[in-house]
C-alpha cells in the first residue's frame, strides 16, 4: 500500500504546471487479456523451435508483421465502399494508440479562423483531398493535450515520429492496416494503445491529439501497392488517385470514431522523399507553375481540410520538416497556416537553439498561430539499441527549454516527448518502453522544473524507487520500484553479459577452442579428461541464462504481445543462447559416443 501510494503521489507531481504552458504526462499502454500459449522455457532449435515460436501468433489474430494478407482486405472493401457512397466510417472496434492528457484548450486570440472558416478557406466541403504520403503519424505523434506529452511510437513505440521510427509487431487490426493512432480518451477512460498491456493511472484527461498510422503499414500490402507514389516503394501514397483519398478518409474516420472528443489530430507529413517521383506526379509537375513544394502543400491542405471539414472542432498537426525549406511566400499563399499547427522535431543532444528560434519566427510570419516541439525520450540513438543513454535525451530536452525561453510566450502550444519503438515499419525493435521509464521521468521532471539538477535526480530516484540513477552510462546498478523495472533489470543483464559470457566460453576458453572445435564437434570426438575442464562451466552457464531468459519472457508477456516478445528474443537472446545450447548438446553426443 505504501509503495502504491508513493507511485500515485509521484504521478500527481508530474501533472503540476510549471514553466510550460500546460504540463502533462501521457504514456501509451496497451491492455489485452493474456493469450493462451506455452509458458516460458528455453529456446528450441531447428524446425521444432521455429514452429513453437511461430505458433504463438498463428491463426486469425497474427501480428502485423506476420500476417500481411489479413490486414489489407477489410480496409480495401471499406475504402471502396467509401469511394462509392461518400459515407463516413462507422465506429471502429480496432485497436488504437492512446494516451491521456490534461489541461484546457486556450483561446489564442491570434486571429486564427474558426474550424468552419478553416474549411472554407481551404475550398473544401466534406470531401477528403489527396492523402499524405509516408509517415502519416501515429502513436509517436502521440496524444498531446497541450503542454508536455509523452508518446510512444508505434507499438509501444514511435508510431512514427520523423527521423525514422515506426511500428512494433502486433496483432492485425480489424479495419485499416495501421489504423490505430495516438489519441487521448475522455476523462476516466483508457483505450488500447499499441505495444503494451496494462496502464498507469492518468488523471484529468480532457481532450487530446490523434494521428493516422504510418502509411507503410498499408502500402506494404499487395492490395494497396497500386496506390504507391513510386511503384517499388511503400513509403508514399499517390496523391492523384480517388482511391487514395478514400483510404485516408477511412483511416481518419476510424480514429475519430474511437476518439470523438479530441482537439488535435496529427496527420504526419514528414520525410516525404518520394513525393513527385511517381508518373502522375511527374506529369503534374510539367504543368506551368507547378513545383514539388506546391504538390507537398496541396497534400497537406487536402488532408487537413478533410479533417476540419468533417470534424470542425479538431485542429490538425503536421511534422514540420517538409515545411522548413519552403519560402514564406509559398507557405502564406497556400492556406496551410490557417489549417494546421506545425510540430518542430529534433532529437539531437546538440540541437541548434538559434536555428529553431528563427524557424519559429518564420512560421509566425507565414500565419501559423501556434507551434509544437517534439523531443524524444527513447529511440533516435541506434536502430537496434536495447538500453537508454539518459544523458543524450536529457541534453535534448535542456536544449528545447532554451528554445522555449527565447521564443514568444504565446507561440508554444506544447511539446511531445516521442518514444520510438522502431526506426521505420520494417526495422527491428529499438528500446522497449519499460527500459525507458527512468529516462522519461528524468525528461519530464526536467521540463517541470525548467532544468536539471541534483534535486531533480533525487526526485526521480525517489519516485521510481531507485537508489542510484545512472545518467551518463547505459548501466543501471540499482533496482527500481516502478512498473516494468524488472524488465529493465533483466534487459540490462542480458545486454551486457549474455553474448560476452557465451563468447568467452566458446571462443576464448582454450579447452573448447583446442579440444572441442567445430571439427571435433562434427565428428563427436572429445578427450575424456579434457571435457571435465569445461563441461561444468558450459552446463552451469546454460542453466543460468535459461533462468534469466525465462524470467524476462514471463515479465514481458505481462506487458507485451507475444509477437513482440518473440521478436525481441530472436533478435537479442536466441543467437547467443542457441550457440551455447548447441555446444552442450554436441558435448552430450560426444560423451555418448565414448561409451
What is the set of active-site residues? 271
For the CA atoms of the chain, what is the radius of gyration? 26
- Helix 535-557, helix 574-594: angle, nearest 10: 140
Q: Are 589 and 523 in contact (CB under 8 A)?
A: no
Cell 513525393 sits on residue: 275
Q: Please, what is the Cα angle at 194 between 58 and 29, to 5 degrees? A: 125
Q: Alpha-carbon distance 578 to 571, whole Å?
A: 12
Neighbour tally for 105: CB within 10 Å: 15
Cell 514511435 sits on residue: 158
The upper half-sphere exposure of residue 394, i.e. CA atoms within 13 Å in the direction of its Cβ, equals 21
- What string of DSSP letters covers 56-120? TT-STT-BTTT-HHHHHHHHHHHHHHHHHH-PPPPPP-S---------------S-PPPHHHHHH
Angstrom CA distances, 146 to 23, 143, 263, 491, stand at 7, 9, 10, 33
Q: Alpha-carbon distance 290 to 428, whole Å?
A: 38
- Candidates 150, 178, 147; CA nearest to 23 is 147
Positive/negative CA dihedral, 560, 566, 572, 576: positive
**213 DSSP assignment:** P
Neighbour tally for 429: CB within 10 Å: 27
Report which secondary-structure segment, H or E, holds 276: none
Neighbour tally for 44: CB within 10 Å: 15
Strand order, beta sheet including 371-378: 147-153, 412-420, 371-378, 341-345, 315-319, 264-266, 209-211
Three-state DSSP class for residue 386? coil
Q: Which residues lie below 8 Å from residue 445, measured CB to CB, with a gap of 6+?
A: 14, 456, 459, 460
Chain centroid to Cα 534, Å, comes to 44
Q: Are 179 and 134 in contact (CB under 8 A)?
A: no
Cell 507537398 sits on residue: 296
- What string of DSSP letters covers 139-185? GGG----SEEEEEEETTTTBS--TTS------BPPSSSTT-----PP
- What string of DSSP letters covers 436-495? HHHHHHHHHHHHHHTS--HHHHHHHHHHHT-S---SSSS---S---STTHHHHHHHHHII
- Candidates 372, 368, 373, 371; CA nearest to 111 is 368
Q: Alpha-carbon distance 192 to 181, whole Å?
A: 10
Amino acid at each position: 500500500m505504501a509503495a502504491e501510494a508513493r507511485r500515485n503521489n509521484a504521478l500527481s507531481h508530474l501533472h503540476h504546471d510549471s514553466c510550460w504552458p500546460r504540463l502533462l504526462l501521457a504514456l501509451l499502454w496497451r491492455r489485452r487479456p493474456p493469450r493462451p500459449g506455452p509458458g516460458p522455457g528455453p529456446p528450441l532449435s531447428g524446425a521444432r523451435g521455429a514452429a513453437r515460436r511461430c505458433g504463438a501468433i498463428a491463426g486469425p489474430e497474427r501480428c502485423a508483421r506476420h500476417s500481411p494478407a489479413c490486414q489489407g482486405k477489410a480496409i480495401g472493401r471499406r475504402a471502396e465502399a467509401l469511394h462509392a457512397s461518400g459515407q463516413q466510417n462507422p465506429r471502429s472496434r480496432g485497436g488504437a494508440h492512446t494516451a491521456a492528457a490534461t489541461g484546457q484548450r486556450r483561446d489564442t486570440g491570434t486571429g486564427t479562423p474558426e474550424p468552419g472558416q478553416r474549411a472554407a478557406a481551404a475550398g473544401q466541403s466534406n470531401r477528403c483531398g489527396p492523402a499524405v504520403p509516408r509517415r502519416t503519424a501515429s502513436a509517436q505523434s502521440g496524444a498531446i493535450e497541450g503542454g508536455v506529452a509523452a508518446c510512444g511510437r508505434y507499438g509501444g513505440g514511435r508510431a512514427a515520429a520523423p527521423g525514422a521510427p515506426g511500428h512494433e509487431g502486433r496483432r492485425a487490426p480489424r479495419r485499416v492496416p495501421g489504423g490505430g493512432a495516438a489519441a487521448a480518451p475522455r476523462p476516466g477512460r483508457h483505450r488500447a494503445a499499441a505495444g503494451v498491456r496494462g496502464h498507469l493511472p492518468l488523471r484529468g484527461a480532457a481532450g487530446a491529439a490523434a494521428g493516422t498510422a504510418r502509411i507503410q503499414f498499408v502500402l506494404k500490402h499487395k492490395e494497396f501497392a497500386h496506390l504507391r507514389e513510386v511503384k517499388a516503394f511503400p513509403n508514399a501514397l499517390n496523391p492523384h488517385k480517388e482511391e487514395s483519398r478514400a483510404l485516408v478518409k477511412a483511416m481518419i474516420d476510424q480514429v475519430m470514431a474511437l476518439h470523438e472528443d479530441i482537439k488535435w489530430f496529427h496527420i504526419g507529413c514528414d520525410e516525404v522523399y518520394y513525393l513527385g517521383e511517381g508518373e502522375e506526379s511527374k506529369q503534374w509537375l510539367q504543368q506551368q507553375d507547378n513545383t514539388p513544394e506546391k504538390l507537398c502543400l496541396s497534400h497537406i491542405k487536402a488532408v487537413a481540410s478533410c479533417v476540419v471539414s468533417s470534424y470542425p472542432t479538431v485542429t490538425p498537426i503536421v511534422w514540420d520538416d517538409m515545411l522548413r525549406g519552403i519560402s514564406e511566400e509559398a507557405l502564406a499563399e497556400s492556406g496551410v497556416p490557417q489549417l494546421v499547427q506545425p510540430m518542430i522535431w529534433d532529437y539531437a543532444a546538440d540541437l541548434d537553439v538559434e536555428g529553431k528560434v528563427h524557424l519559429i519566427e518564420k512560421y509566425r510570419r507565414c500565419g501559423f498561430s501556434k507551434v509544437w516541439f517534439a523531443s524524444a525520450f527513447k529511440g533516435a540513438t541506434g536502430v537496434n539499441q536495447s538500453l537508454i543513454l539518459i544523458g543524450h535525451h536529457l541534453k535534448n530536452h535542456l536544449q528545447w527549454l532554451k528554445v522555449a525561453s527565447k521564443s514568444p510566450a504565446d507561440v508554444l502550444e506544447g511539446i511531445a516527448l516521442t518514444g520510438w519503438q522502431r526506426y521505420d515499419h520494417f526495422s527491428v525493435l529499438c528500446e522497449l518502453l519499460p527500459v525507458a521509464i527512468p529516462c522519461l521521468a528524468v525528461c519530464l521532471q526536467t521540463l517541470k522544473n525548467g532544468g536539471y539538477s541534483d534535486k531533480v535526480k533525487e526526485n526521480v530516484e525517489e519516485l521510481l524507487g531507485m537508489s542510484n540513477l545512472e545518467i551518463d552510462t547505459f548501466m543501471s546498478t540499482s533496482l527500481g520500484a516502478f512498473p516494468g523495472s524488472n524488465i529493465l533489470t533483466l534487459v540490462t543483464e542480458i545486454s551486457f553479459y549474455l553474448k560476452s559470457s557465451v563468447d568467452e566460453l566458446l571462443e576464448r576458453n582454450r579447452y573448447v577452442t583446442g579440444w572441442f572445435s567445430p571439427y571435433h564437434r562434427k565428428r563427436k570426438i572429445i578427450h575424456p579428461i579434457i571435457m571435465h575442464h569445461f563441461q561444468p562451466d558450459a552446463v552451469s552457464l546454460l542453466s543460468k541464462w535459461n533462468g534469466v531468459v525465462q524470467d524476462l519472457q514471463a515479465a514481458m508477456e505481462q506487458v507485451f504481445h507475444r509477437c513482440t516478445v518473440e521478436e525481441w528474443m530472436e533478435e537479442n537472446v536466441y543467437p547467443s543462447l542457441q550457440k551455447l545450447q548447441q555446444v552442450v548438446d554436441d558435448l552430450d553426443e560426444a560423451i555418448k559416443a565414448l561409451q
